[in-house]
Amino acid sequence: MKECGTILSDREMSRTLERLAFEIYERHGDDETVAILGIQRRGADLAERLKKLLDERLGRKVPLGKLDINLYRDDWTTNLELAPTINCSEIGYDVEGRTIVLVDDVLYSGRTVRAALEAILDYGRPKQVELLVLVDRGHRELPIQADYVGKRVDTLGDEHVNVLVVERDDEDKVCLVRGD
C-alpha cells in the first residue's frame, strides 16, 4: 500500500464540514429554495452530513439529492477499460428555480463538475448552482472554481488526494498519496 500523508484527520474533517455548512447558512440564511445535491459516491456522503448540519441550524429539512454523473463523463468513452459503474440519481425535489449546492469530495480537473452540470440540466433549470468541495487540489482543465472549499492543497501531477468516509471506508480521513 502506498504511503498516505494525512491532510485532514477525522476531527479536522468534521470541523471543516461544520464550517462549510455555516458558510452556506451565512450566504443564504433562511432561503427555502436552497437544496443540497451530492455527486455519487463520496460527494453524496458528504452532502448528507452537510444536510444534517443545516437542518439543525435552520430548524427545518433542507432538500437533499444524490447525482450519478457517470453517463455524462467525457473520459470513459475514449477508454473502454474505464467503463463506468452506474449508480442511481435520487433527486426528490424539483430543481427548477432552486439554488443547488453541488457537493463533491475533490475538485481536480473540473471534468466531474462539468458532467454534473450537464446531468442537472436534464432535471430542469436551477436558478443557481454553487459548488462545494472538501478538497481543491488544483490542476484544472476547465474554467471551474468552487464557491465553498474545505481545504486547498497544492499537488504534483503524480499525486492523488484520497477522501475516506466512515460510511464507505470505516474511517474519516483525507490523505495525499504520492506516486502512481
Q: What is the pLDDT of residues 91-121, one digit of tens each?
A: 999 999 999 999 999 999 999 999 999 999 9
Amino acid 26: pLDDT: 97
Cell, residue 113? 463538475
| Rounded CA separation 60/39 (Å) | 23
Q: Which residues contact 48 (CB under 8 A, 6 or more apart)?
A: 38, 64, 167
Proportion of the chain in helix, strand, coil states, percent, rounded to 5: 30, 30, 40
77 has a pLDDT exceeding 80? no
Confidence of residue 81 (pLDDT cuts 50, 70, 90): low
- H-run or E-run covering 67: strand 64-67
Residue 129 φ then ψ, to 5°: -125, 125
Mean pLDDT of the chain: 92
pTM above 0.75, yes or no: yes
Q: Which residues contact 68 (CB under 8 A, 6 or more apart)?
A: 40, 86, 87, 88, 89, 119
18-46: per-residue pLDDT in tens?
999 999 999 999 999 999 999 999 999 99
| Rounded CA separation 34/122 (Å) | 19
Confidence of residue 72 (pLDDT cuts 50, 70, 90): confident
Q: What is the CA radius of gyration of the chain?
A: 16
Q: Which residues contact 1 (CB under 8 A, 6 or more apart)?
A: none
